[in-house]
Structure 1
C-alpha cells in the first residue's frame, strides 16, 4: 500500500510536467488551446508546470536518498 501511494504522489507531478511540455510545444507551433487567451500566457504556464513537476520529483528523490544516506556530503543536511 505504501508503494502505491508513493507511486500516486509521483504520478501527479509527472502528468503536470508532461502537460507543461505539451503546452510549450503547442505554443511553438502556434496552436492556441481553448482555456488560454494568448500564446505567451500558454507558454509561461507550460514553463511553470514543467518547473514545478520536475522540481517536486527531484526533491522527492533527494529526500529519499538522504534518508538512505546515498548522497554526497554537500547534499546532506
Structure 2
C-alpha cells in the first residue's frame, strides 16, 4: 500500500520489481489518481495489479481488509504538521 502516491513512481517501481503482486494506493488528489493510473497502464502494468483510490490520511483510510504487508508514505511526511 502507498499513501500519497502522487505521480505513482514508487508504485511503478514496486510493480516493475515484483510483477506478481497487487498494490493499493491512496491519494488526496483526483488528478494524481488519474495520472498514475494512465502512467501505470502505459508502462504495461495490468489493471488487476493495482487499485488507486481517493484517501486522506488525516480523515483515515477506510480499508475493509485490514491486512497490509507493507506501506510507504514517501510523499506524505512533509505534509504532517508538527504537534
- Compare relative contact order (CA 8 Å, sep 6+) and give the higher one, 1 or 2: 2
Same fold (TM over 0.5): no
Which has the higher Rg, Structure 1 or Structure 2? 1
Q: TM-score, normalised by structure 2?
A: 0.21
TM-score, normalising length from structure 1?
Answer: 0.22
Larger helix fraction of residues? 1
Give the strand-richer structure, 1 or 2: 2
